[in-house]
Amino acid sequence: MRRNLPTALFVVASLASGLVRAAEPPKQPPPFDTTRGDRMIADYFRAETAQLSTACLADIKSLDDWTSRRDEYRRQLREMLGLDPLPDRTPLAPVVTGKVEHNEFTVEKLHFQSRPGLYVTGNLYLPKKIDRPAPAILYVCGHGKVMDGNVSLGNKTHYQHHGAWFARNGYVCLTIDTVQLGEIEGVHHGTYKLNQWWWNALGYTPAGVEAWNGIRALDYLETRPEVDRERLGVTGRSGGGAYSWWIAALDERVKVAVPVAGITDLENHVVDGVVEGHCDCMFLVNTYRWDYAQVAALVAPRPLLISNTDKDGIFPLEGVVRVHEKVRRLYRLHGAEKSLGLQITEGPHADTQELHIHAFRWFNRFLKNDTESQVDKPAVKLFKPIELRVFDRLPADEINTTVQETFTVVAPPPLVLESSAAWGPQRDAWLAALRDKAFRGWPEEASSDAKSLELNEAFAAEARGVRLAAYDFTSQPDIRLRLYVAHRAGLKPADLELVVLNALDQPAWLKWLASARPGFADWLQSEQPSEADQQELEQNRKMFEKFKWGMAWIAPRGIGPTAWDQSEKKQAQIRRRFQLLGQTQDAMRIWDVRRAAQTLRSIEGFDKVPLWMQGEREMAGIVLYASLFEPNVARLDLWRLAPSHRTGPDLLNVLRVLDVPAALAMAAERSKVRLYDTTPTDWTYPQNVAKRVGWPANQLQIRAIQADSDTSVK
């Protein structure tokens, strides 16, 4: 007996009343609402953002509260930047490749390696008239592309006027290039526009590279005899403003910080949508679900000037002020409110002289104890960009262009343990780590009864010997989904031999909808338009006639009835909003499938029926992970499961814990698994575990299928 998988997919819902009632078709069914998914996800993001905003620093009531948590918060920040464990401080191997002279200062063109092969190019501005170690500024650059033909000269050349001003006023200033726009051109745009969602799985963000490069730049400054290591400051604007936050929050050698146009809050990013104007270097991997004031708080009580313009479209004024208000409370607890400043000048997102002046005065005040000197020299560019170039030829051993592959520490390939006694602790450790690092963004485990699910029977109808019912349920606040359940007409749920919960992606949803339209068109008019598929319906009818099976179908959020904007750009930006909330789209779809399984079991009579689950393509991975956290799933049928999170489910930090084969091994311990794949050799690890631990031979079966074969279940 064969049944096409896509026709066996979408959600089951439970009954609040416990009774199924046939009803008349709606006389005037509502038309398909193309904006429903957009409204739903907007409401969801608004509610989740408000939750994180309210929680941010709310448990800090006293200075003791803060000091007892500060070290752990700093460790969490390192982790969310891919810096836990902190990398080894390997030799910097600094090289000065040339000098440029000005009558007031010298510029050394130099590079060092923050890790072997991770080159940082920079310009070191040294005043000519210093007779003792001077205060030093680390200037981290924003996004300013400067090219000489096809050769990148680095964004340090775009921001050269800052280094020049500091040097003309008695500071040493090291201006360093970033990964994206440095002389060696790396990548900041993995999730922004390159579809490299596996960055999430690695727990990787280029913000971590920029933070580490900045920390190692401080290491370098400390080696220079011209520098007073007790008077170090950091500043930068836009992207450099963000990196200033990371560096100052992580490294207390920074005595004064002036991040310019580099921070706002989650409300601006997620609800107002300014995330769409930022590349990945602006964001941590938000495992611990912070709002950004928590980053800023880690600078307290050191002098901090938050600087911004009032018409900045990507760092809006309102969010900047909200961050300042939350941080000000921390400075008050320290008795250091005079060390916190907020500068707002008129203008757009631009590097204006007005912003410079207050920043310069702030450094004078706190690094030189100088409150009298006036800023009488404008910050101007004095050199042609080509004069500041460090490399004539790029080094062959550079890893800048591939640093995303190796920057974070990932889990090693798992060992095949010798016994069930050894397997148990490994499995438990993996599950705990998944909950903590990949699924922390799930809601608290809720009751799975009909009341908590807010179940509502949408309809129940019979046609051609098949009974189809639809139930609406709440997966979590603001996420309302519909579960469809079908079986032979006249059977009660208690008569069924099994029920299969199918998770649908968008193609499978459309195929299922086409198969159901011939018999239930009146009930499905509010769904997406689709052609009726008589052949598919007849195949399903015969299946139900022959077998006492129930079928349930769930389309998780963003698919089918709740599909949101399908444009590639908008889809990417919605996924990035999930990231900022410490979630991923796939992680929350796993939650939806879990809630669908709970819903199905809460329908009267279904709680005793053996539950199978299945999915194809991306939904195979969704179903796999859902089964790890739901009890008593009798069997999984997984079609074309991705063998790695490099191409499989997008989950935060998951490759720092395990990869898909290890998850499959855990699933096979709990449920019988049938894996249908074109390359069975990808799955040797779970097969070896099954043999070593002594599971029954039929517990895990991997069946080869042709690449173009029809998806089917026997």
Predicted confidence (pLDDT) at residue 85 exceeds the cutoff of 60: yes
Number of CB atoms found within 10 A of residue 531's CB: 9
DSSP string of 45-61, one letter each residue: HHHHHHHHHHHTTTT--
Number of CB atoms found within 10 A of residue 291's CB: 24
CB 562 within 8 A of CB 37: yes
* Residue 466 β-bridge partners: 463, 488
Q: Which residues contact 264 (CB under 8 A, 6 or more apart)?
A: 274, 292, 315, 316, 319, 320, 323
- Longest Cα–Cα distance in the chain: 96
Question: Across residues 385-396, what is the average pLDDT?
Answer: 98
Exposed, middle or buried, 556 (CB in 10 Å: 0-12/13-18/19+)?
buried
CA pair distance 415, 20, nearest whole angstrom: 50
Read off the amino acid at residue 645. H
DSSP helix/strand/coil, 247: helix
CA pair distance 316, 312, nearest whole angstrom: 5
In this prediction, residue 544 carries a pLDDT of 92
DSSP character at residue 214: H
Question: Across residues 432-455, what is the average pLDDT?
Answer: 90
In this prediction, residue 14 carries a pLDDT of 27
Query: For strand 254-260 and strand 151-152, is the pairing parallel, antiparallel, or unpaired?
Result: unpaired
Measured at the alpha carbon of residue 77, what is the angle toward residues 72 and 79, in degrees to the nearest 5?
A: 95
Predicted confidence (pLDDT) at residue 711 exceeds the cutoff of 70: no
Task: Work out the pLDDT band at 420, boundaries 50, 70, 90.
Answer: confident
Question: Across residues 113-125, what is the average pLDDT?
Answer: 98
CB 155 within 8 A of CB 177: yes
Predicted confidence (pLDDT) at residue 447 exceeds the cutoff of 50: yes
CA quadruple 618, 619, 620, 623: dihedral positive or negative?
A: positive
* Alpha-helix residue ranges (DSSP H) falling in 9-108: 36-55, 63-80
> Which residue is it, tokens 């049938």?
674
User: For the chain, what's the residue count?
Assistant: 714
Predicted confidence (pLDDT) at residue 22 exceeds the cutoff of 60: no
Exposed, middle or buried, 320 (CB in 10 Å: 0-12/13-18/19+)?
buried
In this prediction, residue 21 carries a pLDDT of 40
In this prediction, residue 384 carries a pLDDT of 97
Task: Work out the pLDDT band at 19, boundaries 50, 70, 90.
Answer: very low
In this prediction, residue 7 carries a pLDDT of 42
In this prediction, residue 377 carries a pLDDT of 85
Predicted confidence (pLDDT) at residue 654 exceeds the cutoff of 80: yes
DSSP string of 265-309, one letter each residue: -HIIIIIS-GGGG--GGG----TT---THHHHHTTTTS-EEEEEE
Predicted confidence (pLDDT) at residue 16 exceeds the cutoff of 60: no
In this prediction, residue 411 carries a pLDDT of 96
> In terms of pLDDT, which residue wins out, 12 or 298?
298
* SS3 per-residue string spanning 564-588: CCCCHHHHHHHHHHHHHCCCCHHHH
37, 40, 46, 49: CA torsion to nearest 10: -80
Write the pLDDT tens digit of every residue in 296-314. 999 999 999 999 999 999 9
- From the centroid of its chain, how far is CA 282? 12
Cis peptide before 696 (omega within 30 of 0): no
Cα–Cα separations (whole angstroms), residue 590 to 498, 596, 626, 689: 22, 10, 5, 25
DSSP string of 514-567, one letter each residue: HHHHHHHGGGSTTS------HHHHHHHHHHHHHS-EEEEEE--TTSGGG----S
> Which residue is it, tokens 């509010």?
526
Task: Work out the pLDDT band at 709, boundaries 50, 70, 90.
Answer: low
Predicted confidence (pLDDT) at residue 151 exceeds the cutoff of 90: yes
Task: Work out the pLDDT band at 710, boundaries 50, 70, 90.
Answer: low
In this prediction, residue 8 carries a pLDDT of 40
Question: Across residues 448-456, what is the average pLDDT?
Answer: 86
Q: What share of the chain is helix, strand, coil (3-state, %, to 5)?
A: 40, 20, 40
Question: Across residues 504-523, what is the average pLDDT?
Answer: 90
Q: Please indicate, yes or no, whether the overall pTM of this predicted structure exceeds 0.85.
A: yes
- From the centroid of its chain, how far is CA 322? 23
CA pair distance 156, 146, nearest whole angstrom: 9
Cα–Cα separations (whole angstroms), residue 411 to 82, 433, 654, 659, 699: 13, 11, 9, 8, 26
Task: Work out the pLDDT band at 15, boundaries 50, 70, 90.
Answer: very low
The helix or strand, by DSSP H or E, that contains position 481, with its residue range, turns out to be strand 479-488
- From the centroid of its chain, how far is CA 17? 39
Max avg pLDDT among 199-208, 540-549, 599-608: 199-208
CB 102 within 8 A of CB 163: no
CA pair distance 335, 469, nearest whole angstrom: 63
Read off the amino acid at residue 62. S
Average pLDDT taken over every residue of the chain: 92
The helix or strand, by DSSP H or E, that contains position 338, with its residue range, turns out to be none
CA pair distance 674, 668, nearest whole angstrom: 9
Predicted confidence (pLDDT) at residue 13 exceeds the cutoff of 60: no
CA pair distance 119, 184, nearest whole angstrom: 8
* Residue 72 β-bridge partners: none
CA pair distance 364, 102, nearest whole angstrom: 22
Write the pLDDT tens digit of every residue in 664-691. 999 999 999 999 998 888 899 999 999 9
Tell me the domains of the chain and their CATH numbers. 3-16+429-713 (3.40.50.1820), 72-406 (3.40.50.1820)
CB 524 within 8 A of CB 533: no
Question: Across residues 404-432, what is the average pLDDT?
Answer: 92
Predicted confidence (pLDDT) at residue 27 exceeds the cutoff of 70: no
DSSP helix/strand/coil, 610: coil
Predicted confidence (pLDDT) at residue 322 exceeds the cutoff of 50: yes
In this prediction, residue 12 carries a pLDDT of 29
- Backbone φ, ψ for residue 142 (5° rounding): -90, -165
Question: Across residues 92-120, what is the average pLDDT?
Answer: 98
Cis peptide before 85 (omega within 30 of 0): yes
Above pLDDT 90, what percent of the chain?
A: 84
DSSP string of 344-368, one letter each residue: EESSSSS--HHHHHHHHHHHHHHHS
Predicted confidence (pLDDT) at residue 26 exceeds the cutoff of 90: no
Write the pLDDT tens digit of every residue in 194-245. 999 999 999 999 999 999 999 999 999 999 999 999 999 999 999 999 999 9
In this prediction, residue 141 carries a pLDDT of 97
Predicted confidence (pLDDT) at residue 548 exceeds the cutoff of 90: yes
CB 518 within 8 A of CB 539: no
Q: Which of 151, 239, 120 is nearest to 188 (CA)?
A: 239
Write the pLDDT tens digit of every residue in 331-364. 999 999 999 999 999 999 999 999 999 999 999 9
Task: Work out the pLDDT band at 708, boundaries 50, 70, 90.
Answer: low
